[in-house]
Amino acid sequence: MYSLLASIRNKVFPGLILLGIALHSGTTAQAGMSLKDACQVIADTVCTYLEQKEETSVLIGNYYGGSGPEIQRILKVLIEAKGFDTKDGMTLEGRCIAIAGDDLKIRVVSTLLSRNYEPITTIPVTQDVDLVIDDKSDTLKGTGTNVDVTKYLKDGRIEQEALKEGVSATQKREEYVNKEIAKSYQDQNSVDDYQLSTVVVDNASVSPERGSDFSVELLVKNEYGEFVEKKSYLHKGKPFVDYNFGDVIGIRVNNKSPHDVVADVSIDGISVFEYSEIPGYKINKLFLVRKNDYKTGKGGSLLVKGWHKTDQEVYEFLVTDVANSEAVKLKRPRNNIGVVTVLFYPAWQTPEAKPGYLLSKKSSTQDGGMKKGDTAGDSKKPTALYFDRNTPLASIAVRYDVKVDHNDAQLPK
């Protein structure tokens, strides 16, 4: 039994979902706490205290860790919606800590500081708000983990195993998926053996593992205005691409699977829809990537040329120094600068086509960042379809940086 969370279907461009419905199954496992859920708890707690103290504003400070930029953005929206200013006053800040066990979670600890920048701990409601996020999409994006879990979603043997154990197939699939995500995170962050990482690089192409249907390529715009491949390499188990200041980059998202998918693309922790002039596009922030048609050779690939502005224009991704990056301008934590993240989700065009496997539920310094460049032409068309964000198929995170001589660095104006 499926319930609709909105009244219209998802509108998507050939790459782009606008507004719409999200589907979830009442028969599957209860979804865990999402990043948005956690932010709502934090905002409610802080706003209750501000009301008690007759305060009118609170500064949203840094949230350190991979999910920090998105937490800051959501908290600003939620707190301002309750009538409070977020530019000065007390300071709300925190940290995000990855926890890998049988699954991958992110612990978020928030602290409210006085105007003198001292922790407020005298009233229970102002104690640190300590929450654990276990939503798969949020943990994958927040940790930059490369993983492909499709083999566990579609393996019929798991259903047989579930039958023997007397549990639902969905529950068993989710158990395997959670363990694979946690293992991939641990392998890619092992300080002892970087060879544990399963990430595959092939010239410009980066895949989470050998044989995966999904890959991402970071490109560079040449003097003729064409996007060409930029060689990737592995460093300490993670994929990297090197650029120069002033380069304009593109992101090619590839889907070799026999099914359409939708993709969530972000750079420096900022969604590619951050600057969209069409409000509805910011809700789902997803691209449609068509299945690969081997007969016609069409589909299977999507080129993201920059931050979405309108259906016909984008703001180009321009490589600059960290101080001039959009992340710094938006007051987002710097720890997400230098990472391009793409998450893939299942998509289908009619209710009858719904998949049966849904879970519904390098160095120590970063020198390069991304800023808005010139506007450039683009072309996207709306499409309608269904998708499930509770069932990530794969996640790919590619790091980028600029190799500079700090004594003689030439920065773009």
| Low-confidence winner among 67-76, 136-145, 247-256, 399-408 (lowest mean pLDDT) | 399-408
| Low-confidence winner among 37-46, 327-336, 356-365 (lowest mean pLDDT) | 356-365
Q: 62 in helix, strand or coil?
A: strand
* Mean pLDDT confidence for 230-256: 91
What is the reported pTM?
0.75
Contact 249, 219 (CB under 8 A): yes
Distance CA 299, CA 216 (A): 15
pLDDT interval class at 83 (50, 70, 90): very high
Between 368 and 238, the higher pLDDT residue: 238
Where are the extended beta strands (E) located within 256-360? 261-267, 270-271, 287-289, 301-304, 306-308, 313-321, 339-348
Residue 373 Cα distances to 281, 305, 336, angstroms: 21, 11, 19
Residues 320-340: b if buried by 16+ CB within 10 A, e if exposed: bbbebbbbbeeebbbbbbbbb
* Mean pLDDT confidence for 133-154: 82
User: Which residue type occupies 178?
Assistant: N
- The average confidence (pLDDT) of the chain is 77
CB hemisphere CA count around 349 (13 angstroms): 8
* Mean pLDDT confidence for 112-141: 66
| Low-confidence winner among 17-31, 71-85, 89-103, 202-216 (lowest mean pLDDT) | 17-31
| Low-confidence winner among 80-84, 247-251, 276-280 (lowest mean pLDDT) | 276-280
Which pLDDT does position 27 carry in this prediction?
A: 26
Tens-digit pLDDT profile for residues 276-302 = 887 767 666 788 888 877 776 666 889
Instruction: Show the DSSP H helices in 53-114 as ranges.
Output: 68-81
The yes-or-no verdict on residue 403 having pLDDT over 60 is yes
pLDDT interval class at 121 (50, 70, 90): low
Tens-digit pLDDT profile for residues 161-174 = 888 888 888 888 88
Distance CA 136, CA 138 (A): 6
Tens-digit pLDDT profile for residues 347-368 = 888 888 888 878 764 434 444 5
Contact 63, 93 (CB under 8 A): yes
The yes-or-no verdict on residue 124 having pLDDT over 80 is no
Q: 141 in helix, strand or coil?
A: helix
CB hemisphere CA count around 14 (13 angstroms): 13
| Low-confidence winner among 110-124, 208-222, 331-345, 353-367 (lowest mean pLDDT) | 353-367
Sequence-ordered list of residues with C-beta below 8 angstroms from that of 192, at least 6 positions apart, any chain: none
Sequence-ordered list of residues with C-beta below 8 angstroms from that of 248, at least 6 positions apart, any chain: 220, 221, 316, 317, 318, 319, 373
Tens-digit pLDDT profile for residues 186-234 = 888 775 666 777 889 999 999 999 999 999 999 999 999 999 999 999 8
Which pLDDT does position 28 carry in this prediction?
A: 27
Which pLDDT does position 297 carry in this prediction?
A: 62
Structure tokens, 203: 């010239």
Candidates 355, 364, 340, 352; CA nearest to 390 is 355
How is residue 31 annotated by DSSP?
P
